[in-house]
């Protein structure tokens, strides 16, 4: 492979079309591998880099994409030929944060499509240390490209659900049940919670309801007070507790964050998962008055990926109904449509390079 070439779709400027570039394979350092990409999911973070001007660590041009599955084709002999998921956050494993179980926020971390060229490509070079092996058995039910969503869309809400200390019987309120939020709602159900999904899309809410979410509420045109009253009514109907609500803001919008904070009640935990550049004005004293918690989350610890994969292998968590695949050559159309909210499922780009 060292004499061959591979392909990348590169971002060259803000809001400009991605360009197809042919690249030469480079030599691998110790502990590195070349992975042939099977699929790479389109994340809101990618949209933020491409459209909103969120700062990236690598200078342009840059190949985006951090939600990647593929097959190791060169490098570390222990991984050669294995199907893998590449964690969206690759920690060093040695620093103080890593040793304290906070490797997801390791300050030496490397993120594909941010620190180095990512997965909107035919191949990607990555460290092998924290790769997550995909067992052959799961490939009988899912093609490898669909499993790319585990790298972020599933693993991120999995980490935050665990971090929220959600217990069986708790009420989980998920704001935004799109490509990431739907998995947050489903994972909360796996953990035994009563789940209410809030969104402005009837289609997304119908999908959530059809997949076992207890109750849904279209919040279009409602103010936060009215929404809270309706949530209380729904909670009573499904036998959920009046206190200790676990609130997950996954819409990544100013309105969603404002609503999430206003839903805080006694001993609530509010988890901020979605990202927006917008600022929100809140009264932090509510946290004191309600003895509540407000927490953030960043990606998912690489060490948790096997647990996430086990949910899929066991059949507790389904993927196919929430994923749609496109040829990678359609990347410009897919990004434009994603920005315009034309998709209700997570988009995964599959290399074709036509």
Q: What is the pLDDT of residue 2?
A: 59
Q: What is the dihedral of CA 33, 35, 41, 47, to 10 degrees?
A: 60
Average pLDDT value for residue range 311-331: 94
Q: Please give the share of the chain, as a percent, with pLDDT higher than 90.
A: 94
Would you state the pLDDT for residue 329?
97
pLDDT of 199: 97
pLDDT at 179: 87
Asked whether the predicted pLDDT for residue 330 surpasses 90, the reply is: yes
For residue 353, pLDDT beyond 80 = no
Q: pLDDT by residue (tens digit) across 67-106?
A: 999 999 999 999 999 999 999 999 999 999 999 999 999 9
Tell me how many degrees the CA angle 314-317-319 measures, rounded to the nearest 5: 115
- What residue ranges define each of the domains in the chain, with the CATH number in brackets? 5-151+300-350 (3.90.180.10), 155-296 (3.40.50.720)
Terminal-to-terminal C-alpha distance of the chain: 21
pLDDT category, 354, cuts 50, 70, 90?
low
Residue 260 phi, psi (nearest 5): -55, -45
User: In the block, which residue shows the tokens 């998995």?
Assistant: 183
Residue with tokens 């070349």: 34
Note the pLDDT of residue 277. Answer: 87
Instruction: Give the angle 344-11-28 at the CA atoms, nearest 5°.
Output: 105
Position 271 scores a pLDDT of 98
Name, in order, each residue with C-beta under 8 angstroms of 280's C-beta and a sequence gap of 6 or more. Answer: 254, 257, 258, 261
């Amino acid at each position: 492979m060292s004499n061959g070439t591979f392909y990348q779709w590169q971002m060259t400027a803000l809001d400009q079309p991605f360009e197809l570039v042919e690249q030469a394979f480079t030599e691998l350092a110790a502990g590195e591998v070349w992975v042939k990409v099977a699929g790479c999911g389109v994340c809101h973070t990618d949209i933020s880099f491409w459209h909103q001007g969120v700062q990236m660590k690598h200078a342009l041009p840059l190949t985006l994409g951090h939600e990647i599955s593929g097959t190791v084709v060169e490098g570390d002999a222990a991984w050669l030929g294995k199907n893998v998921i590449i964690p969206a956050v690759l920690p060093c494993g040695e620093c103080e944060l890593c040793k304290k179980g906070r490797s997801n926020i390791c300050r030496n971390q490397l993120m594909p499509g941010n620190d180095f060229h990512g997965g909107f490509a035919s191949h990607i070079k990555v460290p092998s240390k924290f790769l997550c092996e995909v067992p052959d058995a799961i490939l009988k039910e899912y093609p490898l490209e669909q499993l790319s969503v585990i790298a972020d869309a599933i693993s991120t809400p999995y980490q935050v659900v665990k971090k929220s200390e959600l217990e069986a019987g708790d009420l989980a309120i998920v704001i935004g049940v799109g490509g990431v939020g739907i998995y947050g709602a489903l994972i909360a159900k796996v953990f035994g919670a009563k789940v209410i999904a809030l969104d402005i899309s009837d289609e997304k809410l119908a999908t959530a309801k059809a997949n076992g979410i207890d109750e849904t509420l279209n919040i279009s045109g409602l103010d936060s007070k009215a929404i809270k009253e309706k949530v209380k009514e729904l909670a009573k109907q499904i036998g959920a507790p009046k206190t200790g609500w676990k609130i997950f803001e996954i819409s990544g919008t100013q309105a969603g964050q404002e609503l999430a904070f206003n839903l805080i009640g006694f001993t609530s935990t509010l988890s901020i998962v979605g990202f927006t550049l917008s600022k929100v004005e809140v009264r932090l004293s509510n946290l004191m008055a309600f003895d509540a918690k407000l927490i953030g989350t960043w990606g998912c610890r690489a060490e948790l990926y096997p647990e996430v994969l086990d949910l899929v292998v066991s059949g507790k968590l389904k993927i196919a109904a929430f994923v749609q695949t496109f040829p990678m050559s359609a990347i410009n159309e897919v990004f434009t449509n994603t920005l315009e909210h034309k998709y209700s499922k997570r988009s995964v780009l599959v290399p074709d390079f036509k």
